[in-house]
Amino acid sequence: MDTFRKYINPGTGADANQPDWGISIHNVGHYIHPAGKIYPDPLHPNEYFFDYAKGRILSEYQLVYIASGTGTFEAEFIGQVNVQPGTIFFLYPGIWHRFKPDEENGWSEYWVGFGGSYANHLMKQDCFSPEHPLIYMGFNAEFINIFIQLIDTIKFNGMGSNQLAGCLTIQLLGLVYASALLKLQSSSRKSQIINNIKYSIHENLNSDISPEKLAEKHNVSYAWFRKSFKEITGQSPGQYQLNLKIQKAAKMLLETDLGICDIAYQSGFESEYYFSRLFKSKMNLSPSRYRKEFLCGKE
């Protein structure tokens, strides 16, 4: 698709006396920024051009979709983040921001700037927030096709074009909302499954239940379980289970008079030697030394 951009003064042109249905289009475009060139290019109007070092503040909403290439984005409520192909970021009225493609890659961007009373209502929905302005859409053929229709509508500027462009922008926002909602639901389900498995680990701490058996018990694949568990807890299932056993043993060393051998077996270890070796690697002290030093410290 060829590059295109148009900046519109809402309330002017062929549709000046037509209702805007609560959403007005300020600008729309598609631009391919090649690698090695300064960004943004100098063809932006003064009110949209920005020096990256200073950033920019707009008086409208903008939806920007990066179709290809990579870069960075930064805004008032978030630090600098990397932008991958398929990323959408929103620019909010009155919120400082800046962004640019990587010099060695460039990027291809689609954008639409909009405002109005219904736009304000839509942008107050749960998944749209200045604190979380990036949403990963990925490649979505329907989304791209609607953007192309939107550009064509503004390009040919027929009667009713601004109203149709507003409807197409609402469709874009609806697809983004649905995508964000599905990811939120997927994330919630993932967290629920992992929390259930964590509960099973606590309940079976003294047994030798394997991560593979835990995955089977909760009707998920071991590969999915291992990846999701580490994503949510920061630890592999085996390390999480081991750390719980060590914590239990450390508590028993300080709160009971049981011997090291008994504590090892009651904490789910197969032998006193294996327990002592793992305990020392985790706590930097042998079990007996740990008991002696910490009990002496309490006296």
pLDDT tens for each residue of 195-214: 888 878 887 777 767 888 88
Question: From the CA atom positions of the chain, what is the Rg in Å?
Answer: 28
Average pLDDT estimate for 39-61: 87
Least confident among 3-17, 20-34, 85-99, 201-215: 3-17
Calculate the average pLDDT of the chain. Answer: 86
Q: Can you give the pLDDT at residue 214? A: 86
Tell me, what amino acid is at 232? I
Is the separation of the CB atoms in 28 and 111 below 8 Å?
yes
pLDDT surpassing 90 at residue 60: yes
Strands (E), 124-218: 134-136
Using a pLDDT cut of 70, give the percent of the chain over it: 93
Residues 6+ apart with CB under 8 A from 10: 20, 24, 25, 26, 115, 162
Closest CA to 169 of 147, 190, 184: 147
Q: What does each C-alpha distance from 249 to 18, 103, 104, 266, 277 come to in angstroms?
A: 75, 54, 54, 8, 13
Between CA 28 and CA 25 the distance in angstroms is 8
| C-beta neighbour count of 31 within 10 angstroms | 17
pLDDT digits (tens, 9 = 90+) for 145-184: 999 999 999 988 777 788 899 999 999 999 999 888 777 6
Between CA 162 and CA 27 the distance in angstroms is 11
pLDDT digits (tens, 9 = 90+) for 244-281: 888 888 888 988 889 999 998 888 888 899 899 999 98
